[in-house]
C-alpha cells in the first residue's frame, strides 16, 4: 500500500503535555508502540511535532528552546515514525497553528486582537492554552520555519495543521490589509470577509511551501468542521478529515452525517474522526463503549469515509493496552469490510440545501432536523449549497430558511426545466429581503398581513416556552399522509400564504382562539384550536410541494410523528419510487454505495440514548430479525450476498426493484448486490 494512500484505520494521537509534568516519554518503547498499533489493526497514526502548550517533541536544532523541557526521549517523534514505518504504518505529523500558549506569551504582538483591544483567547489567570495567534503577522514565517525543519529532518508522511479558523482580528497587520482592500476594519462583516480571504491565502502559501519541501505530502487544515466556506480553499487540501466527536461539547450524533454529506462532494477523499474518549479530547483514562465506537466507525464507512479514532498519549509515552484492545475489536471488523468500502461512491436521490453559506451557521437547526428525519426514512441524500450540481438529484429540499437570490432562482429554473422537483418549507423560497417568493414556480404567494405580537413584532418561526403563539395543521382528504382529518399542533406560527392557480391544497392552517397572554389564556400551555382556517399549510403542484411552517425545525425540537408523516408524503409525491425501502424500525439506518459492478447496502442499528444529562450513550446492540429490503435497480441482478461472511441471500425481482430478506442484523451489516455483466 502506498504511504500516501488515505488509509481506513487511523489514530489521531494527541500529546498536549504540560511542562509541569516530569519524565515525559520515560516509558516509551518504539517496538512496543508499533506492535500495539499493529495488533489493533491500525495502519496510520498522526503523531505530534508541536502541541498547544507550545512544545516540540523532536530533537530540534533550529528551535532547541522549544523542545519540551522534560522530554526524556529527545527525538521521540522520529522514534515513533521509524518504528511505525517498519510495520507499514503511515505517520502524518501534527503541527498546531493558532493555539500555542508559549508562543502567545513570548510574542503577544502575534495574537489576534479583539475589537475592544483585548488579546483573544484564554485570559491570563484561567487554565487553558486557547490564546489565538494571527497568521497575518510575522508568526507565519516562524510557523513555516518549524514546518521546514520537521519536513527536512523527519520522514513524515503528511502534515495535520490544527486550529486553522477564520478570526475577526483587529491587529495592525489585519487593519492594514483591510484598508488596502477598501474594507472597513471597524465593521465585523468586513473583518470576517478579510479573515476568510487572508486565511485562504495562508493555506495556499503553506501548501505550496510544504509540497516544495516534500512533493506528495498529504496536507489537512483542521477547524473542527467542514462546510461551504471550504470551497474557496479546497485546492490547498489533499484530503478532508471530519473531526466530529459525538460525545463532545460541540458535535453530537447529527454533526458527522450533516458534514460528510456535504464534504464528500468537494472532490477529495474523506476521513471521519471520532474519539476513544467517553466524552471529549483530553478525557484521560476514559473509554467509549464498544457499541458506540462500532456505530461511529461503521457509519463513516457507510457514508463514504475512512475511519480515524482520537486518543491522547499519556505523558509517560506508553499507549494504553486497554484502549487498543477496544480499537482492535472495532478495526478488525473495519479491515474485514474494506474491500466493499475502498473507492465506493454514495448513491443519492435527494439534495438538501444548507443555509450555512448564507449565514455561516455550522449547525443549522432545520438541516439537522432534515438529516434526522431522512435517515429515519432510509432516504439517500446529500447536503448541498448553491454551487452544487443540482442535476444529480431527482429532488431538492429547501428546509425552512433558504433565501433564493436571482442567481439561485436562475439555477433552479434550469433545474425545473429539466424535470427537477423541489420541496420547500416556511421561509425557503423567499427573496433575500423576505418580501415575497422569488419564483412563481413555488406555488404560493405571501399574504400582506402576517401574525404579530402585541408590540407589532412578527412571531413566525419563533419558539415560546408555553407555545403562546402557534398554529395547527389540518390535512385535507386529498392528503396521502395517513393522518386523520383533524388538527395537529405545530408549536410555532408559520407564514400566511395564498395558493397560486393550478395548485392543490393538501392541508390548512388552523388558528387557536387567541394567543396565550395575561389577558386571556387557557389551561397549562397553548390555546386549543378554534377551527378557523387562516390559509393554506401545504400546497402541491406537479414539480413542487410547499409547507408554510418550519417543519424541519419543529421536527428537530419536538419530533412530532405527524410532521414526519406530512413531510414524507410530500417527498414521495415528488420523488416517486425511493431507492430503498424496508420493514424495520425507524432506528435502522441504511446507506447505499456503489463500486464497479455492484451496489453495497450498509445497514446499521445502534440507538443513541440520553442516559445522562450531558451526552448521548450507545451501550447495547439490539439485533433485528427478518429484515425485508426492497431496492430500486436499473439493471439485472446476479446475486445478493451478506459480506464479509459471504452468506448468499435469496432475492426476487419485482418490476424495477429487487426484494431480499436479511435473517439477522447485529449492529452492522453490508449486503452486496452484484449486477450481471453487460455483453
Residues 327, 438, single domain; the answer is no
pLDDT tens per residue across span 61-75? 999 999 999 999 999
pLDDT tens per residue across span 420-467? 999 999 999 999 999 999 999 999 999 999 999 989 999 999 999 999
Structure pTM?
0.96
Residues 328, 406, single domain; the answer is no
Residues 370, 454, single domain; the answer is yes
Burial bucket for residue 454 (CB in 10 Å: 0-12, 13-18, 19+): exposed
- Percent of the chain as helix, strand, coil, to the nearest 5: 30, 25, 45
Burial letters for 403-430: b for 16+ Cβ neighbours within 10 Å, e otherwise?
Answer: bbeeebbeebeebbeeebbbbbbbbbbb
Q: What's the mean pLDDT when you consider all of the chain?
A: 96
CATH code of the domain covering residue 564: 3.40.50.880
Any domain includes 326? yes
pLDDT at 601 over 60: yes
Q: In total, how many domains does the chain have?
A: 3
pLDDT at 668 over 80: yes
Cα separation of 372 and 103, whole Å?
43
pLDDT of residue 616: 95
Place of cell 495574537: 111
Helix or strand run (H / E) with residue 148: helix 139-153
pLDDT average, residue stretch 556-561? 97
Terminal-to-terminal C-alpha distance of the chain: 33
pLDDT of residue 4: 56
The alpha-helical segments, DSSP class H, found in 313-396 are 321-337, 356-359, 365-376
pLDDT tier at 175, thresholds 50, 70, 90: very high
pLDDT at 155 over 50: yes
Any domain includes 132? no
Residues 275, 151, single domain; the answer is yes
Residues 438, 561, single domain; the answer is yes
pLDDT tens per residue across span 239-257? 999 999 999 888 999 999 9
Q: Among 322, 342, 362, give the residue marking a domain's end.
A: 342
Is residue 31 within 8 A of residue 83, CB to CB? The reply is: yes
pLDDT tens per residue across span 380-396? 999 999 999 999 999 99
pLDDT tens per residue across span 125-141? 999 999 999 999 999 99
Any domain includes 47? yes
Residues 647, 571, single domain; the answer is no
Q: Among 324, 342, 360, give the residue marking a domain's end.
A: 342
Helix axes 255-263, 365-376, angle to 10 degrees: 90
CATH code of the domain covering residue 623: 2.60.40.1180
Any domain includes 616? yes
Is residue 443 within 8 A of residue 544, CB to CB? The reply is: yes
Q: How many CA atoms lie within 13 A of 436 on its CB side?
A: 8
The alpha-helical segments, DSSP class H, found in 422-523 are none
CATH code of the domain covering residue 158: 3.20.20.80
Is residue 597 within 8 A of residue 604, CB to CB? The reply is: no
pLDDT of residue 1: 40
Residues 31, 56, single domain; the answer is yes
561 forms beta bridges with none
Cis status of the peptide bond prior to 515, with omega within 30 of 0 = no
pLDDT of residue 2: 43
455 forms beta bridges with none
Any domain includes 116? no
Residues 335, 355, single domain; the answer is no
pLDDT tens per residue across span 92-128? 999 999 999 999 999 999 999 999 999 999 999 999 9
Residue 586 is placed in which grid cell? 425507524
Alpha-carbon distances, residue 445 vs 94, 217, 495, 509, 535 (angstroms): 54, 54, 10, 15, 11
Any domain includes 2? no
Q: Among 319, 342, 365, give the residue marking a domain's end.
A: 342
Residues 247, 283, single domain; the answer is yes
Residue 524 is placed in which grid cell? 397549562
Is residue 231 within 8 A of residue 387, CB to CB? The reply is: yes
pLDDT of residue 600: 98
Cα four-point dihedral sign 153, 156, 157, 162: negative
Percentage of the chain exceeding pLDDT 90: 97
pLDDT at 509 over 80: yes
Residue 609 is placed in which grid cell? 440514548
pLDDT at 299 over 70: yes
Residues 565, 616, single domain; the answer is no
Any domain includes 130? no
pLDDT tens per residue across span 565-592? 999 999 999 999 999 999 999 999 999 9
Candidates 168, 190, 171, 169; CA nearest to 181 is 190
Residues 18, 157, single domain; the answer is yes
Any domain includes 175? no
Backbone angles phi, psi at 325, to 5 degrees: -65, -45
Strand 381-384 and strand 350-353: pairing? Answer: parallel
Q: How many CA atoms lie within 13 A of 365 on its CB side?
A: 15
Q: Give the domain extent around 533.
A: 348-575
Residues 526, 603, single domain; the answer is no
Question: DSSP strand E in 518-588: where?
Answer: 529-540, 544-547, 580-582
Cα separation of 24 and 17, whole Å?
8
Alpha-carbon distances, residue 415 vs 171, 186, 409, 422, 521 (angstroms): 45, 41, 10, 9, 48
pLDDT tier at 273, thresholds 50, 70, 90: very high
pLDDT of residue 679: 57
pLDDT average, residue stretch 198-215? 98
Amino acid at each position: 500500500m502506498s504511504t500516501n494512500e488515505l488509509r481506513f484505520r487511523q489514530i489521531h494521537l494527541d500529546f498536549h503535555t504540560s511542562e509541569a509534568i516530569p519524565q515525559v516519554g520515560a516509558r516509551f518503547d518504539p517496538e512496543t508502540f508499533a506492535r500495539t498499533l499493529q495488533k489493533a489493526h491500525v495502519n496510520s497514526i498522526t503523531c505530534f511535532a508541536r502541541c498547544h502548550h507550545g512544545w516540540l517533541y523532536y530533537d530540534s536544532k533550529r528551535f532547541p528552546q522549544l523542545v519540551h523541557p522534560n522530554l526524556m526521549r529527545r527525538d521521540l517523534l522520529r522514534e515513533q515514525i521509524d518504528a511505525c514505518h517498519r510495520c507499514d504504518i503511515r505517520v502524518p505529523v501534527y503541527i498546531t497553528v493558532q493555539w500555542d500558549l508559549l508562543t502567545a506569551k513570548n510574542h503577544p504582538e502575534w495574537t489576534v486582537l479583539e475589537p475592544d483591544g483585548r488579546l483573544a483567547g484564554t485570559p491570563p489567570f484561567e487554565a487553558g492554552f486557547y490564546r489565538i495567534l494571527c497568521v497575518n503577522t510575522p508568526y507565519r514565517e516562524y510557523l513555516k520555519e518549524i514546518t521546514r525543519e520537521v519536513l527536512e529532518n523527519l520522514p513524515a508522511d503528511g502534515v495535520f495543521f490544527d486550529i486553522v479558523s477564520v478570526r475577526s482580528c483587529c491587529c495592525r497587520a489585519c487593519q492594514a490589509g483591510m484598508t488596502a482592500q477598501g474594507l472597513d476594519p471597524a465593521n465585523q462583516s468586513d473583518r470576517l470577509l478579510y479573515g476568510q480571504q487572508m486565511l485562504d491565502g495562508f493555506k495556499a502559501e503553506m501548501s505550496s511551501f510544504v509540497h516544495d519541501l516534500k512533493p506528495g505530502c498529504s496536507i489537512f487544515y483542521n477547524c473542527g468542521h467542514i462546510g461551504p466556506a471550504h470551497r474557496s480553499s479546497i485546492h490547498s487540501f489533499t484530503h478532508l478529515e471530519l473531526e466530529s466527536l459525538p460525545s463532545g461539547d460541540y458535535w453530537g450524533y447529527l454533526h458527522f452525517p450533516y458534514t460528510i454529506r456535504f464534504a464528500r462532494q468537494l472532490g477529495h477523499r474523506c476521513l471521519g474522526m471520532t474519539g476513544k474518549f467517553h466524552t471529549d479530547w483530553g478525557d484521560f483514562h476514559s473509554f467509549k463503549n464498544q457499541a458506540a465506537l462500532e456505530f461511529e466507525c461503521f457509519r463513516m464507512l457507510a457514508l463514504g469515509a475512512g475511519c480515524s479514532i482520537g486518543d491522547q498519549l499519556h505523558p509517560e509515552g506508553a499507549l494504553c493496552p486497554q484502549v487498543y484492545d477496544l480499537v482492535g475489536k472495532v478495526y478488525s471488523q473495519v479491515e474485514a469490510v474494506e474491500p466493499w468500502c475502498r473507492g465506493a461512491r454514495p448513491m443519492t436521490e435527494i439534495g438538501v440545501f444548507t443555509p450555512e453559506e448564507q449565514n455561516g451557521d455550522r449547525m443549522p437547526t432545520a438541516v439537522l432536523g432534515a438529516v434526522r428525519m431522512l435517515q429515519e426514512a432510509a432516504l439517500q441524500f446529500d447536503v448541498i449549497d448553491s454551487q452544487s450540481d443540482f442535476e444529480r438529484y431527482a429532488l431538492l429540499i429547501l428546509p425552512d430558511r433558504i433565501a433564493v437570490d436571482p442567481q439561485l432562482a436562475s439555477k433552479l429554473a434550469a433545474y425545473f426545466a429539466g424535470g427537477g422537483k423541489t420541496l420547500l418549507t416556511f421561509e425557503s423560497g423567499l427573496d433575500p429581503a423576505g418580501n415575497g417568493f422569488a419564483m412563481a414556480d413555488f406555488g404560493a404567494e405571501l399574504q400582506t398581513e402576517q401574525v404579530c405580537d402585541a408590540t407589532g413584532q412578527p412571531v413566525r418561526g419563533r419558539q415560546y416556552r408555553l407555545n403562546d403563539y402557534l398554529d395547527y395543521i389540518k390535512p385535507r382528504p386529498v392528503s396521502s399522509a395517513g393522518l386523520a382529518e383533524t388538527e395537529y399542533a405545530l408549536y410555532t406560527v408559520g407564514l400566511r400564504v395564498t395558493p397560486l392557480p393550478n395548485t392543490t391544497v393538501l392541508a390548512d392552517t388552523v388558528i387557536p382562539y387567541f394567543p396565550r397572554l395575561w389577558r386571556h389564556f387557557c389551561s397549562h400551555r397553548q390555546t386549543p384550536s378554534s377551527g378557523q382556517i387562516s390559509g393554506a399549510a401545504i400546497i402541491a403542484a406537479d414539480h413542487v410541494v410547499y409547507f408554510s411552517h418550519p417543519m424541519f425545525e419543529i421536527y428537530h425540537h419536538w419530533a412530532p410523528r405527524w410532521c414526519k408523516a406530512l413531510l414524507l408524503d410530500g417527498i414521495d409525491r415528488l420523488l416517486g419510487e425511493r431507492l430503498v425501502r424496508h420493514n424495520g424500525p425507524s432506528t435502522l439506518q441504511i446507506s447505499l454505495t456503489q463500486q464497479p459492478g455492484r451496489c453495497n447496502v450498509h445497514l446499521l442499528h445502534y440507538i443513541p440514548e440520553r442516559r445522562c444529562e450531558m451526552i448521548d450513550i450507545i451501550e447495547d446492540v439490539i439485533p433485528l430479525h427478518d429484515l425485508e429490503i426492497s431496492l430500486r435497480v436499473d439493471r439485472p441482478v446476479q446475486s445478493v450476498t451478506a459480506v464479509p461472511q459471504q452468506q448468499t441471500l435469496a432475492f426476487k425481482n419485482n418490476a424495477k426493484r429487487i426484494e431480499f430478506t436479511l435473517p439477522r442484523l447485529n449492529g452492522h451489516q453490508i449486503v452486496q448486490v452484484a449486477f450481471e455483466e453487460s455483453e
